[in-house]
Amino acid sequence: MTELLDRAVQRVRALPSSQQDELARILLRLAGDEEAIYRLTPEEEVDLIEAEAEIARGELATTAEVDAVFTKFRP
């Protein structure tokens, strides 16, 4: 292991386990592992199901609403 990678691993060990797992998935993906980078939590799955239902009902944001959100994050 290189010194830089060892330093990164030491720093990641100090993080909460959920962050460690997410960083491990990213590293595995970059190293060629086919495992998904991110797995939805049960709460996120419920949110996704509801979002898909809203889309099916035609409940979409208007162009003005989308522009307003993006304006908050543009420099």
pLDDT of residue 37: 61
**Could you tell me if 52 and 65 lie in one domain?**
yes
**Could you tell me if 46 and 72 lie in one domain?**
yes
pLDDT of residue 63: 94
- Total domain count, the chain: 2
Which residue, among 28, 24, 27, 6, has the nearest Cα to 15 in the 3D structure?
A: 24
**Could you tell me if 1 and 25 lie in one domain?**
yes
pTM above 0.85, yes or no: no
Distance between CA atoms of residues 24 and 36, nearest Å: 11
**Could you tell me if 15 and 5 lie in one domain?**
yes
Q: How far is CA 64 from the centre of its chain?
A: 26
Distance between CA atoms of residues 46 and 48, nearest Å: 5
Q: Quote the domain boundaries for residue 73.
A: 40-75
26-62 in b/e form (b: 16+ CB < 10 A) is eeeeeeeeeeeeeeeeeeeeeeeeeeeeeeeeeeeee
12-70: per-residue pLDDT in tens? Answer: 999 999 899 989 888 888 888 766 667 789 999 999 999 999 999 999 999 999 999 99
**Could you tell me if 58 and 70 lie in one domain?**
yes
**Could you tell me if 31 and 44 lie in one domain?**
no
**Could you tell me if 34 and 17 lie in one domain?**
yes
